[in-house]
Structure 1
Amino acid sequence: MYDSGKIIPGIILFVGLFTFPFWSNMGKAAPAPKPELPKTAKVCVMDTAFMKTEHMVLLNHWRDKVVREANRVWLGPDGKEYKMSIQNGCMQCHTSKAKFCDQCHNYAGVSPYCWQCHLEPKENL
């Protein structure tokens, strides 16, 4: 331990630099988004908690069913039949991509690839 006078300050400096991004941003989180919900009183295909966390899993499942099995109708847990389609299903109620989809996707920093195949809805401003 001939260089203990250099090692301990080096370790402290390393830990400080390594953890700087974490402690420098404490308490500075952006407020959670508030997406615009449909004005009509329609019921979504699944409950809100599921859709907030698992909507991409559901959309990927729908994509596989439509593309691979040519099945375009999904039987929801409530027993109703829904169209497995972003444009003819989801976007019928959630009419504004900018006010609904983009709110959360921008907050989460994700870029979904939905609109590489699907037509992006025109916004009515």
Structure 2
Amino acid sequence: MYDADKIGAGIIVFLILVSLPIWYNGVLGAPTAPQPKIATEEKHCIEDVETIRGEHMVILDEWRNKVVRHGEKVYTSKTYGENYEMSIEKTCKKCHPDRKEFCDECHDYAGVKPYCWDCHNYE
């Protein structure tokens, strides 16, 4: 093999590049997920924490469709069986009044740009 030096160097460079994120997080530490502030006396959200973190956008999309297209206004929690008004302004904002300290903190961490605020005013 006439190119053994080049192949060996290429493999070493490849391994360094592939393992760089691991070394980077090991040295600097992986960023920790934000812990948003919840300003409420309520004991729980409309659904359990895991469901809300993972599926709140699906829930809000369903709310939009049911309210706008079908005139439905009441959401029954699958977790708790309680009824809530399908409204960001009247339900969500009761416990999460500050968009910057709650919504934006997690969305910025996740690198997500929600389109909710194109139509809704959270101020």
- TM-score bucket (shorter structure): 0.7 to 0.9
Could you list the runs of 5+ residues in structure 1 that have no partner in the other structure?
none
Q: Determine the C-alpha separation between the residues in 1 that align with 2:40 and 2:111.
A: 27
Tell me whether 58-67 or 17-26 shows the greater mean CA deviation.
Answer: 17-26
Query: Aligned-pair distance for 1:37?
Result: 1.1
Q: CA deviation at 1:90?
A: 0.6
Does residue 68 (structure 1) correspond to residue 69 (structure 2)? The answer is: yes
Q: How many angstroms apart in 2 are the aligned matches of 1:79 and 1:25?
A: 42
With normalisation by structure 2, the TM-score equals 0.82
How many residues were matched structurally? 121
The one-letter amino acid paired with 1:57 is V
Letter in 2 for 1:91: K
Secondary structure at the aligned position of 2:102 is classed as helix
* Counterpart code for 1:8: G
1:2 corresponds to: 2
Structure 2 equivalent of residue 17 of structure 1: 17
Distance of aligned partners of 1:5 and 1:31 in 2 relative to their CA distance in 1, 3 Å threshold:
closer
Structure 2 equivalent of residue 90 of structure 1: 92
Residue 42 (structure 1) shift: 5.2
Structure 1 distance, partners of 2:31, 2:16, is 24
CA distance in 1, matches of 2:122, 2:6: 59
2:66, 2:73 within 8 Å by CA — same for their partners in 1? yes
TM-score by length of 1: 0.81
Query: CA separation of 1:44/1:21 partners in 2, compared to 1, >3 Å: closer, same or farther?
Result: closer
2:117 is matched with: 115
Which of 54, 79, 82 is 2:81 aligned to?
Answer: 79
1:52 has 2:53 as partner: yes
C-alpha spacing 1:20/1:79, structure 2 compared with 1 (3 Å): closer
